[in-house]
Amino acid sequence: MKRIVLIIRPFCIVLLSVVAVLSMSSFRSMSGIPSRYMLTQISPYEKQKIQGYLDKAWACYLKKDYDTALQWWRRAAKHNVAAAQYNIGLCYERGTGVKQNMKTAIGWYEKAADQNFPGAQYNLAYCYAEGKGVKQDYKKAFEWWRAAAGLGLPEAQYSVGWCYYEGKGVKQDYDEALKWYRLAAEQGNSDAIAALSELGEEI
């Protein structure tokens, strides 16, 4: 995907990095997922079983056996595992191992987003911003980006800054824009660093 003009449309810039970071590492196993994303009221046996589902899904994914990977993610998703829900949504969005279906993808993103999974919140915001599978709605996009930003996702923090800078989905506020750009830049987000540089601001 080509890089687009800074500050004008940040959505596509960030999406791939979120996909790369989250789908290729955090979702590999339960141990790699922050505890807030996991079920707490389950027995050690159930946790081990779900871990097995995720391990098998990851192994199949690496072999490009996407159909089987999806089957294992679906098993984990039945236990309300947000990471599995996100991965299923991602597969439907990209048409990986299944026919592309944005409405279905959004449904899975919503399940994970409602559990405060930042990757799902980010992608849901992206869909609303672009009108991808849903009616374009910058206000909802901002709300979901803000939720993910509050959980520390730098790409979302940058997008929140962009919304404030452009007045998209929220009242224009340059001070707030700079605040969120700085938060993202402090985590090494290159787009936020570039935005601050263009505005003549220091991190």
Element (H, E) at 64: none
Domain holding 92, by residue range, is: 15-29+42-136
Q: Count the domains in the chain.
A: 2
Smallest Cα–Cα separation from 144: which of 113, 168, 165, 115? 113
Residue 118 lies in a domain: yes
Say if residues 172 and 166 touch (Cβ distance below 8 Å): yes
Smallest Cα–Cα separation from 121: which of 165, 86, 169? 86
Residues 104 and 193 reside in one and the same domain: no
Q: Bin 134: left if φ > 0, else alpha if -120 < ψ < 50, else beta.
A: beta
Say if residues 22 and 32 touch (Cβ distance below 8 Å): no
Residues 132 and 169 reside in one and the same domain: no
Residue 25 lies in a domain: yes
pTM score of the predicted model: 0.80
Query: Of 92, 111, 136, which marks where a domain is finished?
Result: 136
Residues 52 and 129 reside in one and the same domain: yes
pLDDT of residue 21: 35
- End-to-end Cα spacing for the chain: 27
Separation of alpha carbons 115 and 129, rounded Å: 21
Residues 95 and 175 reside in one and the same domain: no
pLDDT of residue 43: 80
Say if residues 192 and 185 touch (Cβ distance below 8 Å): yes
Query: Of 80, 107, 136, which marks where a domain is finished?
Result: 136
Residues 126 and 175 reside in one and the same domain: no
Residues 87 and 22 reside in one and the same domain: yes
Element (H, E) at 174: helix 174-186
What are the average pLDDT values for consecutive 10-residue runs of the chain, which has 203 residues? 26 35 36 40 81 89 92 93 90 92 96 93 94 96 97 94 97 96 95 92 76
Residue 7 lies in a domain: no
Residues 25 and 91 reside in one and the same domain: yes
Residue 35 lies in a domain: no
pLDDT of residue 3: 21
Residue 37 lies in a domain: no
Separation of alpha carbons 74 and 87, rounded Å: 9
pLDDT of residue 40: 52
Separation of alpha carbons 83 and 89, rounded Å: 10
Residues 110 and 190 reside in one and the same domain: no
What residue spans of 41-173 are helical by DSSP H? 44-62, 66-77, 82-94, 102-113, 118-130, 138-150, 154-166
φ, ψ of residue 115 in degrees (nearest 5): -100, 15
Residues 131 and 178 reside in one and the same domain: no
Residues 79 and 106 reside in one and the same domain: yes
Q: Which residue has tokens 């707030």?
A: 176
Q: Give the CATH number, domain containing residue 54.
A: 1.25.40.10
Tokens coding 88: 């299923």
Residues 125 and 172 reside in one and the same domain: no
* Angle, alpha carbons 116-89-147 (nearest 5°): 25
Residues 115 and 59 reside in one and the same domain: yes
